Amino acid sequence: MQNKDIKRLTLILLFAPFALWILLLIILPHIGMVVLSLKEKVAPRVYEYSFANYLDFLHEPIYWNTLLRTGSMSLLVTALALLIGFPIAYYIAKIAGPRARGGLFLLCLIPLWVSDLIRSFGWILLLRETGVISNFLLWTGLIGQPVEFLYNDAAVIVGLVYTVILFMIVPLVSTLDGMDNSMIEAGYNLGGNGFTVLRRIIIPYAMPGIVAGCIVTFMLSAGSYLTPILLGGKNSSWFTEQIYNQFITRFNWEGGAAFGMLLLLFTSIVIWLGLKLSGQTLANTVAKS
Partner 1 sequence: MHLKTTLTGLLAATMLAGAGSAQAETLRLLTWGSYAPDELVQKFEEEYPDIEVEVTFSNNEEMIAKLRATGGAGFDLAQPSHDRIYAAQLEYDIYKPMDLSKIDTGVMEGKLLDGVKANTTIDGEVYAVPHQWGTSGLMADKTKAPDLKSWADLCDPAYKGKTSMRLKRTILLGTAYSMGEDPFAAYSDLEKYQGILDKVADKLIECKGNIKAYWQGGDDLSAMMLSGEIVGSETWDSTAYKLFDQNPNIVFVPPKEGALAWIDTFALPAKGKADDAAYKWINFVLRPENVTLMSASTGAIAAVKGGKDLLPEDKKAAVNAAFTDADIDNLKFFANIPPGVEDMEGKTLEKIKAATGG
Tell me whether residue 119 or residue 128 sits nearer to partner 1 (CB atom): 128
Residue 111 CB, shortest distance to partner 1, in Å, is: 22
Rounded to whole angstroms, the Cα distance separating 130 from 123 reads: 13
Q: What amino acid occupies position 154?
A: A
* HEC readout, 22-35: HHHHHHHHHHHHHH
Residue 182 engages partner 1 in binding (rule: CB under 8 A): no
The 63-82 contact track toward partner 1, x by CB under 8 A, reads --xx----------------
Using CA atoms, how far apart are residues 91 and 101, in angstroms rounded to an integer?
A: 9
Q: Which stretch binds partner 1 (CB under 8 A): 27-35, 128-136, 198-206, 269-277?
A: 128-136
The three-state secondary structure class of 43 is strand
Residues 39, 47: contact at Cβ < 8 Å? yes
Contact map string, positions 7 to 46, toward partner 1, x by CB under 8 A = -------------------------------------xx-
> Residue 119 interacts with partner 1 (CB under 8 A)?
no
- State which H helix or E strand residue 139 sits in: helix 132-140
Give yes or no for a contact between 132 and 126, defined as CB atoms under 8 angstroms apart.
Answer: yes
Of 43 and 110, nearer to partner 1 (C-beta) is 43
Structural contact between residues 162 and 126, judged by C-beta atoms closer than 8 angstroms: no
Residue 229 C-beta: closest distance to partner 1, Å: 7
**Which CB, 76 or 229, lies closer to partner 1?**
229
Residue 155 or 197 with smaller CB distance to partner 1: 155
Region at 248 (left for phi over 0; alpha for psi -120 to 50; beta for the rest): alpha
| 59 near partner 1 (CB under 8 A) | no
Alpha carbon distances (Å) from 73 to 20, 68, 158, 233:
35, 8, 11, 14
In the complex with partner 1, which residue's Cβ is closer, 86 or 239?
239
Q: Which is nearer to partner 1, 104 or 147 (CB)?
A: 147
Q: Which is nearer to partner 1, 174 or 245 (CB)?
A: 245
230 contacts partner 1 (rule: CB under 8 A): yes
Please, what is the minimum distance in Å from the beta carbon of residue 62 to partner 1?
Answer: 4
| Residue of 52, 128, 187, 224 interacting with partner 1 (CB under 8 A) | 128
DSSP 8-class letter at 66: H
CA atoms of 285 and 218, how far apart (whole Å): 14
Q: How many CB atoms lie within 10 A of CB 5?
A: 9
Residue numbers at the binding site for partner 1 (CB under 8 A): 44-45, 62, 65-66, 124, 128-130, 148, 150-151, 229-230, 233-235, 237, 242, 245-253
